[in-house]
Amino acid sequence: MKINFIKYIFIIFVIATIIFVVYQLNTGKENTEPEQPLTSKEEETIKEITLGIAEFDTMNPILSQNRQVQEICKIIYEPLLELDAEYKIQKCLAKDWAKTAETTYLVRLRDDVKWSDGQNLTADDVIFTINTLKGISSIYYSNVEHIISAEKIDSSTIQIIIDQEIPFFEYNLIFPIMNQNFYAGQDFSTSEKNNAPIGTGKYKIIQNDSASIVLSKNENYTRDKLTLEKITIDKYSNLGELYNAFKLGKIDLITTTNVNIEDYIGTIGYNKVEIPGREFDFLAINTKNTILANKEVRQAISRAINKDNIVTQIYNNKYKVTNYVLDYGSWLSGETGDNSYNPEVAKQILIQNGWEYKYKRWQKRINYSTKQISFRLVVQASNQARVSVAEMIKTNLEEIGMKVTIVKASDNQYQNYLKNKNYDMILTGTTVGTSPNLETFFGATNLANYSNEEISTIMSEVKNITKEDLLKEKYARIREIFNDEVPYIGLYNSYYAIASSWSLKGSIAPNWYNLFLNINNWYKV
């Protein structure tokens, strides 16, 4: 009996313990459940940001000369075609496009696009925009200057004819399309409607006064889900005021090409992204020159130039070392190869190709006579930074035994050198275009007087290739030849700095074509 009694007591104790534990778990759950909404992302997310514009001119994207306006306009107005994160052409307002002859293109519009006022996008809007651009001063004029006609085939199809075959002409079709009916009876350039033109983009203008511009979601835009519901753009009289406003936390994001931006906004208290810019400096080598016609000499020159040191000493690390014109992030850039600074490798390249270092000069018997590595480097005298770069290049090359004479040319002389290509080597630069066209560097009148039968064949082929894998393969081969032949020596390019407040979240990963590539997932906390 005693044993059974103890057994019953133990069973009762176990049951009581289980009931107590279950009760505590349920109580704890009840106590935590009311706190869930307070920590949810939905409650924390702020769906509004503030941007800024200095020296505002107009919200008409094809009239504005303001870079900040142009950046913001990417989310208000749309082009026929656009560039993605890798600068690859993609469809936007165009549902499809085709090159039907050397100078003829067909563009078919999407059938689900509406303007922010509810009107349907039509072929007439595209033709109106092209004709308008051809008659005004605009940053997009060069996009349409070769168009000789734009005709409507039907309400959603346009035929575009250009005056000559242009490789990758489709990359020109990235100008914003404007609404014809909106400007009916108006002078496009002076209309008060330029205060708030309608667009087909993600956001629309709902206010534009002397102090600010306000954007809200375009309810007629249905192709993406947007987090931000409101964007306020404050106006400032100059960049100094804009930078100060960012420093004080009044705006959430700024972009700049100012290499001394830290002098204005400091170095801490914000997130910073640096992206390659469009200004690319390089050495063009005259491959018809008796000495420089030898690719081993060009290879040695490339390995003997300390590009990192140039960027550090001349540009205070505000430029980025760049070896090739497409190395700004283009999907067609290709493999870099080893172009790093190594003067010992430079010497070995020369030795392996029959050059001898005698009497403090590199010498070789060429066509029954002894030649020395000696050449002139032309630079524009008025560009002091480039003059300093030329002097550093001269020092680098003379350290391995090459004789370099710097020619400091006046502006007129410099332009004549470029036009006539009568230099040994010239320090120059270019603004990178949106198109991957390499005619400037490898075409018939290229700056290096360079010819390569295989590259010429590829250049002819790529004009009509639309298959991405094949195009990438062709461009990879061009880069491979370039790395070996070295008709140009890339030096450095500019970069954009994007500074954003710590409270701005989402993927802020722009390129120089579109600051707002990933605005769909931006928000604040």
Q: pLDDT-derived band of residue 291, with 50, 70 and 90 as boundaries?
A: very high
Question: What percent of the chain stands above pLDDT 90?
Answer: 82
Beta bridge partners of 98: 106
Number of domains in the chain: 3
What does each C-alpha distance from 38 to 30, 43, 227, 328, 525 come to in angstroms?
15, 7, 20, 44, 13
Task: Look up the CATH number of the domain holding residue 409.
Answer: 3.10.105.10
Task: Look up the CATH number of the domain holding residue 122.
Answer: 3.90.76.10
DSSP string for 13-46? HHHHHHHHHHHHHHHHHHHHGGGHHHH-HHHH-B
346 and 407 assigned to the same domain: yes
Q: Choose between 290 and 317: higher pLDDT.
A: 290
- CA 283 – CA 487 distance, rounded (Å): 9
User: Does the residue 3 lie in any domain?
Assistant: no
> What tokens appear for 214 in the block?
């306000």
Residue 402 backbone class (left: φ over 0; alpha: ψ -120 to 50; beta: rest) = beta
| Model confidence at 28: pLDDT above 50 | no
Are 371 and 342 within 8 A, CB to CB? no
Q: Which phi and psi (to 5°) does residue 466 adopt?
A: -115, -15
Average pLDDT estimate for 192-209: 97
Average pLDDT estimate for 335-357: 93
Are 58 and 208 within 8 A, CB to CB? no
Give the position of tokens 């066209």: 437
107 and 58 assigned to the same domain: no
Per-residue pLDDT of 3-13, as tens digits, reads 444 444 545 55
- CA 46 – CA 505 distance, rounded (Å): 10
What does each C-alpha distance from 109 to 4, 94, 106, 158, 523 come to in angstroms?
89, 4, 10, 8, 32
Angle (CA) 396 402 403, round 5°? 100
- CA 374 – CA 102 distance, rounded (Å): 45
335 and 391 assigned to the same domain: yes
Q: Choose between 78 and 464: higher pLDDT.
A: 78
- CA 124 – CA 150 distance, rounded (Å): 10
Angle (CA) 12 18 22, round 5°? 145
Let me know how long the chain is.
525
- Of the candidates 280, 268, 220, 323, which has an alpha carbon nearest to the alpha carbon of residue 429? 280
| Model confidence at 27: pLDDT above 50 | no
User: Does the residue 34 lie in any domain?
Assistant: no
Q: Choose between 307 and 256: higher pLDDT.
A: 307
136 and 161 assigned to the same domain: yes
Per-residue pLDDT of 57-116, as tens digits, reads 999 999 999 999 999 999 999 999 999 999 999 999 999 999 999 999 999 999 999 999
328 and 473 assigned to the same domain: yes
91 and 63 assigned to the same domain: no
| Model confidence at 18: pLDDT above 70 | no
| Model confidence at 316: pLDDT above 50 | yes
User: Does the residue 399 lie in any domain?
Assistant: yes
* pLDDT score of 367: 81
Q: pLDDT-derived band of residue 331, with 50, 70 and 90 as boundaries?
A: very high
Average pLDDT estimate for 275-280: 92
CB atoms closer than 10 angstroms to residue 518:
14
429 and 353 assigned to the same domain: yes
396 and 293 assigned to the same domain: yes
95 and 172 assigned to the same domain: yes
68 and 83 assigned to the same domain: no
Per-residue pLDDT of 472-494, as tens digits, reads 999 999 999 999 999 999 999 99
Average pLDDT estimate for 511-517: 93
317 and 358 assigned to the same domain: yes
CA dihedral 446→450→453→459, nearest 10 degrees, is -30
User: Does the residue 8 lie in any domain?
Assistant: no
Per-residue pLDDT of 145-179, as tens digits, reads 999 999 999 999 999 999 999 999 999 999 999 99
Asked whether the whole model's pTM tops 0.95, one would answer no
- CA 61 – CA 140 distance, rounded (Å): 9
User: Does the residue 214 lie in any domain?
Assistant: yes
Could you tell me the residue range of the domain that residue 249 belongs to?
40-76+201-270+501-525
Q: Choose between 257 and 59: higher pLDDT.
A: 59
| Model confidence at 42: pLDDT above 80 | no
Helix, strand, or coil (residue 391): helix
Q: pLDDT-derived band of residue 30, with 50, 70 and 90 as boundaries?
A: very low
Per-residue pLDDT of 419-458, as tens digits, reads 999 999 999 999 999 999 999 999 999 999 999 999 999 9
441 and 519 assigned to the same domain: no
> What tokens appear for 313 in the block?
């000493």
DSSP string for 226-260? -S--EEEEEEESSHHHHHHHHHTTSSSEEEE--TT
Question: What percent of the chain stands above pLDDT 70?
Answer: 92
User: Does the residue 430 lie in any domain?
Assistant: yes
Task: Look up the CATH number of the domain holding residue 524.
Answer: 3.40.190.10
* pLDDT score of 15: 54
H or E segment and range at residue 67: helix 67-73
* pLDDT score of 12: 52
* pLDDT score of 517: 92
HSE toward the beta carbon, residue 443, CA cutoff 13 A: 9
Average pLDDT estimate for 316-345: 92
Q: Which phi and psi (to 5°) does residue 5 adopt?
A: -60, -45
Residues in CB range of 321: below 8 A, 6 or more apart: 307, 308, 311, 491, 492
- Of the candidates 184, 97, 188, which has an alpha carbon nearest to the alpha carbon of residue 134? 188
Provide the mean pLDDT of the chain: 91
| Model confidence at 33: pLDDT above 50 | no
